[in-house]
Structure 1
Amino acid sequence: MRFGLFIPQGWRMSLTDVPPEQHWETMLSLLHYADNAAAGEAVPGGEFAWESVWVYDHFHTVPVPSTEATHEAWALMAAFAAASQRVRLGQMCTCMAYRNPAYLAKVASTVDAISGGRTEMGIGAGWYEHEWRAYGYGFPSAGDRLRALDEGVQIMERMWRTGSSGTFDGQFYQVDGALSYPQPLQQLPVGDGGAQVPSIPLWIAGGGEKKTLRIAAEHAQYTNFSGSPEEFQHKSQVLEQHCRDIGRDFGEITRSANYNMVIGENQAEIDDKLAWIDAHFAQYAPGDQGHRESSLWRHGLMVGTPEQIVEKLQELQNLGMTYAITYFANAAGDREQIELFQRKVIPELQG
């Protein structure tokens, strides 16, 4: 199994206890920690490590919009690219409608050049209605958002692979000869002949069965959908059928999921971590929404000791979930859980 780590950027009220002038220092420190682990440092045996770091593509905090900072995803991607050497860099996930896809392809190619070929493109249709309307994007129907996602992914693939969008006259996007140089440094296989073309791995995020997973079957190198065993198995079966329908090898697509992690050596430590989460959201998101957020953590799948977490992840691995992207509450102020997970969980699943 492969592992990614979310960097606290503020969206989930993860920087509330950090003075604004220390936000970048806090993010950079955790980036360097993961980057060193990607080199085999601080991991028993030197072979088990974080493969990637991630941020969210959002503008306003959750569970409620607030004046707390939420740092912009692609500005962070460029900064992370320049400030790291080994760890791969992703967003889970970029909202297609927040940026024109031709422009987004250009931005991602530039980040790939800065990073030396370490960019991952998480992309989805978007869902945060308050944010959409606040920034003047309106809020189209789910069907229109998914059709825009499909068109945008096609434009990005063309630009990365050929350096030009060509002429694309879609319902939502129209481009005519938009150039994307530099092309990505990364090379991905295309067709059955072993040829490779410049491109960036596409992570199609979301579990919509009729459209999103169909787009994933057509274009994705990675998917990212529900992480519970029952839902993961069902979504995987739907994705496999889409692949069968279009004649694609289902095994070409790596299936990932995101997990809120609460880990402790014993129940007392776990209870302390959960108590911090309760107090945090009671302070920064008082009321029903904050209470619901705390409940999601408390009753989440990945709450337990290292042994319990390993057992849960092994079950998911047996279902085909081979890339777990982890989020730890209070990562900005307390790395104890991250270090415990790295010492006692990752080696058991990377053997």
Structure 2
Amino acid sequence: MWSNRRGNGKDSEERHMVDFGLGLPAGPPPGDNARFTDDLAATLGKLGDTVRSIWMTDHFFWDGAPTYEAWTVLSYLAARFPDYEVGPIVLGQSYRNPALLALMGATLQNLSGGRFIMGIGAGWKEDEYRAYNYPYPEPRIRVQQLEEQLIILKRLWEEPGKISFDGAHYRLADAWCEPKPQKPIPILVGGGGYTTMKHAAKYADIWNLPDKPLGPYLERLAILRRHMEAIGRDPATMRCSWFGRLALGKSEAEAEARGLSRADKWTRENAFVGTPAQVAEQIQAFIEQGCDYFLVDIIGAPDEDVCGLFTEELIPALKEG
């Protein structure tokens, strides 16, 4: 039950393999724009095929730090790093017109040779909505909008000809998405809300829950599986993923110093922190419950020691686990 495949788009339909994706920072360090791409290239050069995908968050600003626009970055990544899949973790559904997003996704899927994953969620960061003058309806409405977005994406990608749609929140009149994606675009739905997971059960290929320890993750996973069973969908057809920080050290103290010295909100229980053996044990507990895709922000990469602990100790320990 293991895979170290690169994301060449040829085997995305496979399930029950363990994969890693690399999560990126929201933007470059202050005053050093080149570090964003230089560090990424160096990190991937050291990680090689131990990761299969690259993931970018979708925010306009974050804690006052420099922030890049997600879709622009994804397009760059797809061209610069042709051996890896790319995806957003996750797009705020409110930020882009659904029909336009369908065309954007189809375009990127075709130009990348089938290496795009559509990660999407209901949206949550109210200060961004307010700052950029986006309407910020109550959670119930945003989740309804998410479902309509998912319906529109799938219809425009899969149905021939022009598409019309008359929803409570979004409407199309003879919308057009050509050329269609050259292969199906996997949909990742992110979120742990009851109704969000209901939509994931119906429309998603991958479900993601970020920054949760095992107990809360399993509680939500159980809800997701009940939703799937209620509509007659085999839970084995869904990939379950985790997104968050990973801090490795030669000792537990070194890992904690590296991984817990960021913002106070990133606590030990919401990340994988420790020696490679300790982190392998933490991750293995998720694997045994059905989580098989780990999207990780590797704290300290591209440091040689950090990347070496990941490739030479953590990955072999998991393969043996």
TM-score bracket for this pair, using the shorter chain length: 0.7 to 0.9
Runs of 4+ deviating beyond 6 Å: none
Q: 1:234 is matched with which residue?
A: 219
Asked whether the equivalents of residues 208 and 240 of structure 2 are also in contact (C-alpha less than 8 Å), the reply is: yes
1:7, CA displacement in angstroms? 2.3
TM-score by length of 2: 0.87
Q: 2:97 is matched with which residue?
A: 100
| Whole-angstrom distance in 2 between the partners of 1:339 and 1:185 | 37
Q: 2:189 is matched with which residue?
A: 204
Q: Deviations over 1:148-193 (max 9, x none)?
A: 000000000011112556110011110122111221122xxxxxxx
Q: 1:298 to 1:214 in 2, by over 3 A?
A: closer
Aligned pairs for 1:241-252 (under 5 A) are: 241-252=226-237
Q: Look up the SS of the partner of 1:69 in the other structure.
A: coil
| Whole-angstrom distance in 1 between the partners of 2:178 and 2:246 | 39
Q: 1:7 aligns with which of 24, 30, 49?
A: 24
Q: 2:6 is matched with which residue?
A: none
Q: 1:335 to 1:138 in 2, by over 3 A?
A: farther
| Whole-angstrom distance in 1 between the partners of 2:253 and 2:226 | 45
User: 5+ unaligned residues in a row in structure 1: which ranges?
Assistant: 39-48, 187-198, 282-292
Number of residue-to-residue matches in the alignment: 302
Q: 2:29 aligns with which of 13, 16, 22?
A: 16
Q: 1:339 is matched with which residue?
A: 308
Q: 2:152 is matched with which residue?
A: 155
Q: Look up the SS of the partner of 1:183 in the other structure.
A: coil
Q: Look up the SS of the partner of 1:225 in the other structure.
A: strand
| Whole-angstrom distance in 1 between the partners of 2:162 and 2:245 | 38
Asked whether the equivalents of residues 256 and 274 of structure 2 are also in contact (C-alpha less than 8 Å), the reply is: no
Q: 2:198 is matched with which residue?
A: 214
Please state if 1:348 is matched with 2:282: no
Q: 1:267 to 1:218 in 2, by over 3 A?
A: closer
Q: 1:328 to 1:219 in 2, by over 3 A?
A: same
Q: 2:117 is matched with which residue?
A: 120
Q: 1:43 is matched with which residue?
A: none
1:83, CA displacement in angstroms? 1.1
- Which amino acid in structure 1 is aligned with residue 201 of structure 2? A
TM-score by length of 1: 0.80
Q: 1:113 to 1:55 in 2, by over 3 A?
A: same
1:338, CA displacement in angstroms? 3.3
91-100 or 335-344, which deviates more: 335-344
| Whole-angstrom distance in 2 between the partners of 1:30 and 1:113 | 26
User: 5+ unaligned residues in a row in structure 2: which ranges?
Assistant: 1-17
| Whole-angstrom distance in 1 between the partners of 2:69 and 2:272 | 28
Q: 1:75 is matched with which residue?
A: 72
- Which amino acid in structure 1 is aligned with residue 200 of structure 2? A
1:16, CA displacement in angstroms? 2.2
Please state if 1:311 is matched with 2:281: yes
| Whole-angstrom distance in 2 between the partners of 1:29 and 1:156 | 35
Q: 2:292 aligns with which of 296, 311, 322?
A: 322
1:220, CA displacement in angstroms? 0.6
Q: 2:168 is matched with which residue?
A: 171
Q: Look up the SS of the partner of 1:260 in the other structure.
A: strand
Q: 1:57 is matched with which residue?
A: 58
Q: 1:164 to 1:347 in 2, by over 3 A?
A: farther
- For the aligned residue pairs, the C-alpha RMSD in angstroms reads 2.0
Q: 1:300 to 1:338 in 2, by over 3 A?
A: farther
Asked whether the equivalents of residues 9 and 27 of structure 1 are also in contact (C-alpha less than 8 Å), the reply is: no
Q: 1:154 to 1:164 in 2, by over 3 A?
A: farther
Aligned pairs for 1:280-299 (under 5 A) are: 281=262, 293-299=263-269
